[in-house]
Amino acid sequence: MQTDRHFSTGKRKTAVARIILRPGTGTITVNRRPYDVYFPRQASQLLIQQPFEIVEAIGRYDIEANVAGGGLAAQADAVRFGIARALTAADAERRTPLKRAGLLTRDARKKERKKYGQPGARKRFQYSKR
């Protein structure tokens, strides 16, 4: 059975985006709001459109994204990664251009945890000889 919906997950730092991709008119909603309302920065909006521009699929799919955790920039990155994965799930031939553009690579940078007995992740208490 071939479904016309494709699900994927995008992650960045502590932000997680669940993506539902279905054929449509190009509507993108994030947490039940239009994406340009949810992400007011122009840079974030361009980031989300990037996978569609690379595979030349602007206006062909509707995106429904559920995002939690992190800040707005990390959430926008997570949505972009999720959309790229969903487009690949919809058509396997799109994998190569998306991979070349670096959109199918998880950005694994996270905040390093604070170590016990120390003031921060890398910071150490000042050494005192006496």
Alpha-helical segments (H) within the chain = 35-38, 42-54, 72-90, 95-100
pLDDT digits (tens, 9 = 90+) for 29-80: 999 999 999 999 999 999 999 999 999 999 999 999 999 999 999 999 999 9
Task: Give all domains of the chain, ordered by start, each with its CATH number.
Answer: 6-100 (3.30.230.10)
pLDDT band at residue 20 under the 50/70/90 scheme: very high
pLDDT digits (tens, 9 = 90+) for 86-116: 999 999 999 999 999 999 999 889 999 999 9
Is the per-residue pLDDT at 3 higher than 70?
Answer: no
CA distance 35 to 93: 27
What pTM does this model have? 0.89
CA distance 125 to 119: 7
User: So what's the pLDDT on residue 4?
Assistant: 87
